[in-house]
Structure 1
């Protein structure tokens, strides 16, 4: 566990439901919608309810209950233009994007949004999305090597007047991007998020990413990832280590019993063929790593009903109980919680009114008795 906690207030992001089927693969009612009108209102509600970020999902074809999907970058820009403060993170795939082209898109989106765009660089797990488009499917660690180069190219183009890069996957020569992204205090360039669970993902997180996203984890599982990623950052000589985001599915109710009953109903009504198909696909991907530490390698059927292991984080119970868990994750190095819900519009608003104030009270108490983590 880190010897000190992040000094900044805990940040919050939500999963943009730009993909049909909601955030759980279940037939339970989910009062949410993947269309733009719903999402525009949700983004406005979120920025007025204490959320600083939103993450637009990336899917290119139907899979495991997600029959329809809006493209992540265009959807992200639409949400940016519909809001005033919210930062939107667009998920993108190396191999389907060329980093120089993406760098130009991001620079334009940054100017249009006054500095609020970010990217989540996703190495990819769904082989069919690549092969259906005629693109090569690399083995696991090669996908992460490509991701590392992709991130290095983005940073080089955004920060150099005459970008140069020679790697195994990308080569850039004398490329001068104009306009550059905006000069925003506190950042060198638009923020780069990257996630995973494997050793290769953790190395990338430590060496090149601004933020490392973790799938849902219990306390010890999250602490173990933080320790390893920070170790890679130290080995790389980074003076500013990456920050950490943790995925969690939140069920905040008046009583713990009510919240647990909701969880039981979600799992009882799981779309079993979709969950099992997803499990077969992702656990093969997780097991493909040398040490079997890939994403979802040890996820149970129940875990995968929320497809980023969000139940494992256990943000389930009363507002007070959820606040206690959030603070404990902050103690263990979390800078941000990435949240999903059954009923986004209502529950995002409920979070801002009933959960966030308790978290802020407990943060103040924690700050009075704990040293701050340098550089956080």
Structure 2
């Protein structure tokens, strides 16, 4: 695993079809299990610490086929040795008792290598299609917070009781409890006030959409200030679509080709759905409020993080992200296996070198004081 002071890396698991961009550009990426096993083995070999599976119940936005996240995560874990896989779970379709038992079992089977990403949900059409309740925006986060509090209680206490609006438990004891202590790592996403507030109270990790360092720092400072007031700590992961090439011109040409070949109808449909979801927030805007058409070609604003260029340029930008408080880069790629390998061989060593230089400089400054 990475040094505890190093920035860590995760990749999006392509367990749904269509890749990570809404574009008709060629993507040498496959959503099959065999491909994902090879990808996971490559990723852990070159230095990735985490992989994040996606949760989808219905087709849409180029994702015509979708493997279920928890079972797929377990399948990847069975074929790897070090990688930790983060399984995406939606409160509503999943109940905390089932999720707690399911994940605790996988934790034992994999010696502590499963994590959970609690997804509060933004796409109402998917919930309507499967007959699930759709609370309004802030209530979805309230439900997710109860979900997380329930998981933590089940995983750490005997005779756990909880009396919430959405979930209730009475003297429930899970046995065996997870291998990981104090409990399985809990991730969540979102950029709204409700998402940040929830993370500042209960989550171990907070994923945010891609953005500029200046805008990311505002979010990070806000969430950490709130977490401190709650006597809580939370780590930060940022989404980034990485295009690393030998020259900057090559990398930019790939970006322009992705955008030029965008599936316009799918991007516009995605944009309409995100605007509707954003309008339901207390602020009247959501994750994608300031996203352009070009930004939305990559679902989670991955282009905006600007990890596009030569290995040296990308490594320097990653270290700048670390300086503003980013702990993890959640990475997407066009051609996953070959580009994960390239990243591990060309970019990651430069990141570690720059981190070591930075640590030495800090130590030398301290010695001079």
Aligned counterpart in structure 1 of residue 283 of structure 2, from 268, 276, 291: 291
Aligned counterpart in structure 1 of residue 59 of structure 2, from 62, 74, 87: 62
Deviation for aligned residue 1:18:
0.3
Q: Encode CA deviations 1:205-232: one digit per residue, 9 max, x unaligned.
A: 1110000001101101110111111122
Q: Which residue is 2:205 aligned to?
A: 211
Q: Which residue is 1:269 aligned to?
A: 261
Q: Which residue is 2:39 aligned to?
A: 42
Q: Encode CA deviations 1:189-244: one digit per residue, 9 max, x unaligned.
A: 11000010000000011110000001101101110111111122122122xx1011
CA distance in 1, matches of 2:4, 2:65: 40
Q: Could you tell me whether the CA contact under 8 Å between 2:275 and 2:285 is conserved in 1?
A: no
Aligned counterpart in structure 1 of residue 227 of structure 2, from 222, 230, 233: 233
CA distance in 2, matches of 1:219, 1:293: 20
CA distance in 2, matches of 1:147, 1:299: 25
More displaced stretch, 281-290 vs 262-271: 281-290
1:366 partnered with 2:358:
yes
Q: Could you tell me whether the CA contact under 8 Å between 1:12 and 1:338 is conserved in 2?
A: yes
Superposed CA RMSD: 1.1
Deviation for aligned residue 1:327:
0.1
Q: Which residue is 2:122 aligned to?
A: 125
Where has structure 1 moved over 4 Å in runs of 4 or more? none
Q: Could you tell me whether the CA contact under 8 Å between 1:250 and 1:341 is conserved in 2?
A: yes
Of structures 1 and 2, the one scoring higher in RCO (CA 8 A, sep 6+) is 1
CA distance in 1, matches of 2:228, 2:278: 26
CA distance in 2, matches of 1:300, 1:247: 16
Q: What's the TM-score, normalizing by structure 1?
A: 0.94
SS of residue matched to 1:333 = coil
Deviation for aligned residue 1:63:
1.0
SS of residue matched to 1:54 = strand
Aligned counterpart in structure 2 of residue 242 of structure 1, from 224, 230, 234: 234
Q: Could you tell me whether the CA contact under 8 Å between 2:52 and 2:87 is conserved in 1?
A: yes
Q: Encode CA deviations 1:166-202: one digit per residue, 9 max, x unaligned.
A: 11111111110011001x4xx4111000010000000
Q: Which residue is 1:3 aligned to?
A: none
Gaps of 5+ in 1: 1-5, 372-376
Q: Could you tell me whether the CA contact under 8 Å between 1:197 and 1:293 is conserved in 2?
A: no
More displaced stretch, 126-135 vs 52-61: 126-135
SS of residue matched to 1:136 = coil
Q: Encode CA deviations 1:41-70: one digit per residue, 9 max, x unaligned.
A: 100000001000000000001011110000
Q: Encode CA deviations 1:59-102: one digit per residue, 9 max, x unaligned.
A: 00101111000000000000001100000000000111000110
Q: Encode CA deviations 1:99-127: one digit per residue, 9 max, x unaligned.
A: 01100000000001110000000000111
Deviation for aligned residue 1:7:
6.2
CA distance in 1, matches of 2:77, 2:21: 25
Deviation for aligned residue 1:292:
2.8
Deviation for aligned residue 1:129:
1.5
Q: What's the TM-score, normalizing by structure 2?
A: 0.96
SS of residue matched to 1:64 = coil
Q: Which residue is 1:173 aligned to?
A: 170
Aligned counterpart in structure 2 of residue 148 of structure 1, from 113, 136, 145: 145
Gaps of 5+ in 2: 364-369
Aligned counterpart in structure 2 of residue 87 of structure 1, from 78, 84, 94: 84
Q: Could you tell me whether the CA contact under 8 Å between 1:248 and 1:310 is conserved in 2?
A: yes
Instruction: Number of aligned residue pairs: give it.
Output: 361
SS of residue matched to 2:349 = helix
Q: Which residue is 1:374 aligned to?
A: none
SS of residue matched to 2:122 = coil
CA distance in 2, matches of 1:224, 1:365: 26
Q: Which residue is 2:104 aligned to?
A: 107
Equivalent runs, 1:1-80 vs 2, <5 Å: 8-80=5-77
1:336 partnered with 2:328:
yes
Q: Could you tell me whether the CA contact under 8 Å between 1:244 and 1:335 is conserved in 2?
A: yes
Q: Could you tell me whether the CA contact under 8 Å between 2:187 and 2:203 is conserved in 1?
A: yes
Deviation for aligned residue 1:293:
4.0
